[in-house]
Amino acid sequence: MAKAKTIYFCQECGHESAKWMGQCPGCKQWNTFVEETVERRKGAAEKKPILGASPVILADIEMKREERFTSGFPELDRVLGGGIVPASLVLVGGDPGIGKSTLLLQVCQKLSAQQIQVLYISGEESLQQIKIRAQRIGSFTDSLFLLCETNLDIIDGVLRKEKPQVVIIDSIQTMYSENISSSPGSVSQVREATAAFMQLAKGLGITIFIVGHVTKEGVVAGPRVLEHMVDTVLYFEGDRHAAYRILRGVKNRFGSTNEIGVFEMREQGLAEVKNPSEYMLSGKPKDASGSVVACSIEGTRPILLEVQALVCRSNFGIPRRTADGTDTNRVNLLMAVLEKRLNLRLSECDAYVNIAGGIKMNEPALDLGIVLAIISSYKERCIDEKMICFGEVGLSGEVRAVHMAKQRILEARKLGFTTCILPKVSLDAQNNVDGITLLGVENVQQAVRKIL
Ligand code: TYD
Ligand code: MG
């Protein structure tokens, strides 16, 4: 008998190798290689492609009228680029337990309320367990169908027969094809299943949402392995201890990426957060040093958030620096700028920077907020609570322009802020808004002189 051919796959990024390696050359993760048999089983019938194989002229392609349809969640529609695109394949990734199944079951509820035929295929929960979840969420109409199945061939048959408009696959790591001998959740199984769903989505005109668990260290293949195969990649993230969840677009063939949708996990499932700024600022302390409101743009939407810093004398030779919700290296760099340009003796201090609410933001426009929070804590002086700031800080301490200044100012005014510190170059007539005073600054020194 011929020896079965095996290949080692990185379960994190799908990198292939003929032999086992400790560290993946692709994604630099350790211990992620798993041996998989790649041979197709004998007698496994090759599936006929559904798509026709004859080329067509671009002008001859007919456009269908109804381009997109709503998911019933405006926040999800925004992340998808304005609604669900028919016949698209959408990957929803996230840590286990973050709420992917809940979100998609609620999408099913909203779609079925619009009389759209939906099929929810679960490989993780029994029908009874789904029903328990559904009862928490609310009432459902009769156009939602459920199926507990993990065998790709059976699912293939069901989809061809029933032709629902929307299908949810929960999760891709539980699906398996009999043509491949490796176990469900391995890179080859996950890839095979995704390719099969892509064919079904395009061939039958079904929109398919695939759930993919983000995995720690290579037990099952993570969603990164299939990111390049699908049309849209969304990540559902959030702090397990906080109630809010953020849905982030990472790849979108039909719209912009980096849009976010904000949700809150409640007793009865997920609820949309219509005004994230208000939500993020809800716990801001009054008259506290080291706290300032900054503005970040996520996609097309400005979000105000509180930047907190705690600077205190270090007890050890090497000061401690941590940053939660933003890049630690960036914080270190900004502290070096302050040390050099403002002669602050920060090298003797521990510093902790935190974006309140557990949200992760890395926009350079937050620089000015981080810098002012650090100085405010260092000098033990409070910053006016009706003031917001934004601007990128350069290595010479200069405050540089950032995009979409007007939107940020309007968002600040909407939430009742009266002063805005911004880069001087953004001080032009078109940015002038009634009810909010704009203070343009060229560098960090000027900003400090103006407000502290
Ligand atoms: P779930 O959707 O099962 O996560 P995933 O599919 O991403 O693994 O979410 C499970 C968590 O959500 C669980 O910790 C309980 C919580 N939850 C609520 O707080 N309220 C609800 O109404 C539901 C259905 C779940
Ligand atoms: Mg789940």
> 96 CB under 6 A from ligand 1?
yes
Q: Which atom of ligand 1 is nearest to the CA of 269?
A: 22
pLDDT of 9-50, one tens digit each? Answer: 888 888 888 899 899 898 888 888 888 877 666 555 555 556
Question: How many A from CA of 22 to the centre of ligand 1?
Answer: 35
Average pLDDT, the chain: 88
Phi, psi of 190 (to 5 degrees): -65, -40
Residue range 429-434: mean pLDDT, rounded: 84
Residue closest via CA to ligand 1's atom 14 equals: 97
Q: What is the dihedral of CA 245, 250, 255, 256, to 10 degrees?
A: 90
Residue closest via CA to ligand 1's atom 23 equals: 269
Distances (CA, A) of 408 to 139, 167, 296, 423: 39, 38, 8, 12
* Residue 85 to residue 363: CA distance in whole angstroms: 29
More confident residue, 216 or 189: 189
Residue closest via CA to ligand 1's atom 21 equals: 269
- One DSSP character per residue, 176-215 reads B-TTB-SPTTSHHHHHHHHHHHHHHHHHHT-EEEEEEE--
pLDDT of 54-105, one tens digit each? Answer: 888 888 887 765 578 999 999 999 999 889 999 999 999 988 888 999 999 9
Whether residue 151 contacts residue 180, with contact meaning beta carbons closer than 8 Å, is answered with no
Distances (CA, A) of 361 to 62, 238, 357: 42, 12, 11
- One DSSP character per residue, 310-373 reads EEEE-SSSSPPEEEESS-HHHHHHHHHHHHHHS---GGGEEEEEEETTS-----GGGHHHHHHH
Ligand nearest to the CA of 122: 2
Residue closest via CA to ligand 1's atom 13 equals: 97
Phi, psi of 240 (to 5 degrees): -55, -30
Question: How many A from CA of 102 to the centre of ligand 1?
Answer: 6
pLDDT band at 447 (very low <50, low <70, confident <90, very high): very high
Percent of the chain, pLDDT > 70? 94
> 94 CB under 6 A from ligand 1?
yes
Whether residue 351 contacts residue 282, with contact meaning beta carbons closer than 8 Å, is answered with no
Considering only CA atoms, which of 228, 209, 198, 190 is closest in space to residue 11?
A: 190
Q: Which atom of ligand 1 is nearest to the CA of 170?
A: 6
Q: Which atom of ligand 1 is nearest to the CA of 105?
A: 2
- One DSSP character per residue, 73-133 reads -HHHHHHTTSSBPTT-EEEEEE-TTSSHHHHHHHHHHHHHHTT--EEEEESSS-HHHHHHH
- pLDDT for 41 equals 60
